[in-house]
A = this chain, B = another copy of it.
Amino acid sequence: MDFAYSARVEELRAKLQAFMDAHVQPADAAWKHEVEAGRYPTALVDDLKAKAKAEGLWNLFLPALKPDEPGTRLTNLEYAPLAEIMGRIYWSSEVFNCNAPDTGNMEILHMFATPEQRERWLNPLLNGEIRSCVGITEPGVASSDPTNLQTTIIRDGDHYVVNGRKWWTTGALHPKVKFCIVMGLSDPRPEADPHKRHSMIIVPMDSPGLTVMRNLPLLNHYSIEGHTETDFTDVRVPAANLLGEEGAGFALAQARLGPGRIHHCMRTIGQCEVALELMVERALERKAFGRNLADYANVQDWIAEGRMEIDQARLLCLRAAWMMDKHGNKAARTEVSAIKVAATRLQTKIADRAMQVFGAGGLSNDTPLAFIYSWGRALRFIDGPDEVHLRTIARAEIKKRKESNRSTFAEQGVLRPWVKGAS
């Protein structure tokens, strides 16, 4: 065990931070200005992407890149501290082609795409030439259990026909978005195996019958790229667009979610650090009732709690990444659930305290805190609500005991007999 980052990671961290300081931070005001005016700042971002690619800071998230694919080839563990740095400025991940949901789509295409699909959809994504979106969640059902999904993807000759309503389709409004990966029922028979009834298919955004209905706000924040409600009415898609086999949807969804979840967590830790640093800076310069805020014991407690919580969350995140690298995404499932809950909760908590140190100004957009707070709250739903992840962790823990050969405390005589007793 060695808790220091490797030399390679330290080098990349320095390089990435330098890039952020030199290019991204200075563009932040312009980015926000465009977005507030309702325009996606395409030119600005394209320029930064070219620079990042030229410096070898590209597709840092994808461990499995092949020799002919552009990217940095990092493990999840190596990627984590870099994602943390990107997380500090919300929009910066795209600069390095590391933004959701394209990352998840690239992962899944990387694993399951046919050569034609790779050529047409994956390669432009890997090169940052196009954007994509994903349609899993539906308004009418508890979508954290994907076997509930009701959208249909029905074979009809050389095509599949898609019908249904999705929402929280992230990225559907981006000017370069070209396709949506949709998950739905390809086998609607109720008696079929519930984990084999769904499929995933690549739906071009310009398909007739695909309608972006509206952009959904997250606590009144409207993303310029969209979290949309999206309707599919008799959308005909070539059968060749199916991802993997018919009925493989559930398996693909599982494969997709592990890395996506942990990427959010890594970035969250960056946001938490920003909030904590803001709190400290403010506490050092603001006076109330004749004393500096940094001298008040309650503010000091908030600072200390924040430091302790962030450090613990970062370690949990790194360990989950290491588990994924070492034992695979499936083996790391409870670890990923754990960091998903711990990190996203933390973002709202630390931002909440920091806002309190800023006073009412902390509610406005004059600091990044209002956004960090709201986005943190939203993250408690994105990729699954807390309760689903807690349930996953608890069931694993219970199963561990059930399957263990170890004698129970009662059997060891640690408990008095009543505890074993009747019931």
Interface residues of A, Cβ cutoff 8 Å to B: 1-6, 25, 28-29, 77, 137, 139-145, 148, 150, 167-168, 216-221, 274, 276-278, 280-289, 294, 296-301, 303-305, 307-308, 311-313, 315-316, 318-319, 322-323, 326, 334, 338, 341-342, 352, 355-356, 358-368, 370-371, 373-374, 377-378, 380-382, 385-387, 389-395, 397-398, 401-402, 408-410, 412-416, 418-423
Docked pose: A254 CA to B319 CA in angstroms = 32
Specify which of B28, B278, B288, B299 is in contact with A142 (CB 8 Å cutoff).
Answer: B288
**CB atoms of A342 and B312 under 8 A apart:** yes
Kindly list chain B residues whose C-beta atoms are within 8 Å of the C-beta of A216. 363-364
Chain B minimum-CB-distance residue to A28: B414
**CB atoms of B145 and A285 under 8 A apart:** no
Kindly list chain B residues whose C-beta atoms are within 8 Å of the C-beta of A415. 278, 366-367
18 extra interface residue pairs, beta carbon distance < 8 Å, beyond A142-B287, A220-B370, A300-B395:
A1-B4, A1-B318, A1-B322, A3-B323, A28-B413, A140-B422, A145-B289, A217-B364, A219-B370, A274-B409, A285-B423, A297-B297, A300-B391, A303-B398, A311-B319, A312-B313, A356-B385, A366-B419
**CB atoms of B363 and A398 under 8 A apart:** no
Task: Tell me whether A284 and B220 are in contact in the complex, defined as CB-CB below 8 angstroms, given that A298-B298, A300-B391, A304-B393 are known contacts.
Answer: no
**CB atoms of A299 and B300 under 8 A apart:** no
Task: Tell me whether A150 and B422 are in contact in the complex, defined as CB-CB below 8 angstroms, given that A280-B401, A311-B316, A394-B301 are known contacts.
Answer: yes
**CB atoms of A288 and B361 under 8 A apart:** no
Docked pose: A313 CA to B342 CA in angstroms = 12
Task: Tell me whether A282 and B419 are in contact in the complex, defined as CB-CB below 8 angstroms, given that A300-B394, A319-B3, A394-B304 are known contacts.
Answer: yes
Docked pose: A415 CA to B399 CA in angstroms = 40
Kindly list chain B residues whose C-beta atoms are within 8 Å of the C-beta of A3. 1, 318-319, 322-323
Chain A interface, >50% SS class: helix
Docked pose: A70 CA to B33 CA in angstroms = 48
Docked pose: A294 CA to B394 CA in angstroms = 9
Kindly list chain B residues whose C-beta atoms are within 8 Å of the C-beta of A145. 288-289
**CB atoms of A398 and B284 under 8 A apart:** yes
Task: Tell me whether A219 and B363 are in contact in the complex, defined as CB-CB below 8 angstroms, given that A319-B3, A423-B285 are known contacts.
Answer: yes
Chain B minimum-CB-distance residue to A407: B21
**CB atoms of A414 and B367 under 8 A apart:** yes
**CB atoms of A394 and B303 under 8 A apart:** yes
Kindly list chain B residues whose C-beta atoms are within 8 Å of the C-beta of A277. 401, 409
**CB atoms of A312 and B318 under 8 A apart:** no
Kindly list chain B residues whose C-beta atoms are within 8 Å of the C-beta of A358. 419
**CB atoms of B423 and A142 under 8 A apart:** yes
Kindly list chain B residues whose C-beta atoms are within 8 Å of the C-beta of A297. 296-299, 387, 391
**CB atoms of B312 and A316 under 8 A apart:** yes
Task: Tell me whether A304 and B397 are in contact in the complex, defined as CB-CB below 8 angstroms, given that A5-B1, A361-B139 are known contacts.
Answer: yes
Identify 15 residue pairs between A and B in the complex whose beta-carbon atoms are under 8 Å apart, listed by A's number: A142-B286, A219-B363, A274-B409, A278-B415, A294-B398, A301-B394, A304-B341, A304-B392, A307-B334, A307-B397, A359-B385, A362-B381, A366-B415, A367-B414, A368-B414
**CB atoms of B278 and A409 under 8 A apart:** yes
Closest Cβ–Cβ distance, residue A312 to chain B (whole Å): 4
Closest Cβ–Cβ distance, residue A271 to chain B (whole Å): 13
**CB atoms of A373 and B304 under 8 A apart:** no
**CB atoms of B308 and A393 under 8 A apart:** yes
**CB atoms of B220 and A280 under 8 A apart:** no
Kindly list chain B residues whose C-beta atoms are within 8 Å of the C-beta of A137. 360
Closest Cβ–Cβ distance, residue A303 to chain B (whole Å): 4
Docked pose: A374 CA to B25 CA in angstroms = 28
